[in-house]
Amino acid sequence: MTRSEEALQKILAQSTEAEAAIRRTARHADTVGREIGTQAEVTAADIRAAVAVAERRLLQTGQLAEATVNIKAKSATAEAILEITETAGDLSRRLEQRATTMEAEDRLDNVLERLRAADERLRESDERTRQALGYLRAVPEDSS
């Protein structure tokens, strides 16, 4: 074998080795590609699961905020009702006192009216008594 043939066989052997290496690299690249695809699918599934969890948490946060607002509104309403009830009770007591005061005023007016009438009768009686006493003085005393 000549040197040219030897060189050619050497190049052919190297070419075969290079071709085998390329095939191995292609198979390896294919395997790596499949693994990356699998990892990408797993990662996508993990991302979808994380998004679902985040959406549930957001929904729960919204529901919690809504419940908090609802509770605060109910609390404010209860306080307002309590204040209104206290005010109504106070107003009721005042009206009751006013009614009692008006009844007392009416009774006092009635008593004053009766006192005036009694005073008038007493004055009339005093006048009659004076007149009667005047008649008695006019009668001469008997000196016997």
What confidence tens digit (pLDDT) does each residue in 50-60 have? 889 999 988 89
Measuring CA to CA, how many Å separate 57 from each of 48, 62, 68, 93, 111?
A: 14, 8, 16, 53, 79
Is 1 strand, coil or helix? coil
Cβ neighbours, 10 Å, residue 16: 10
- Give the residue carrying structure tokens 């005010």: 87
Question: Residue 120: what pLDDT?
Answer: 93
Stretches where the chain sits below pLDDT 70 are 1, 136-144
Span between the terminal Cα atoms of the chain, in Å: 209
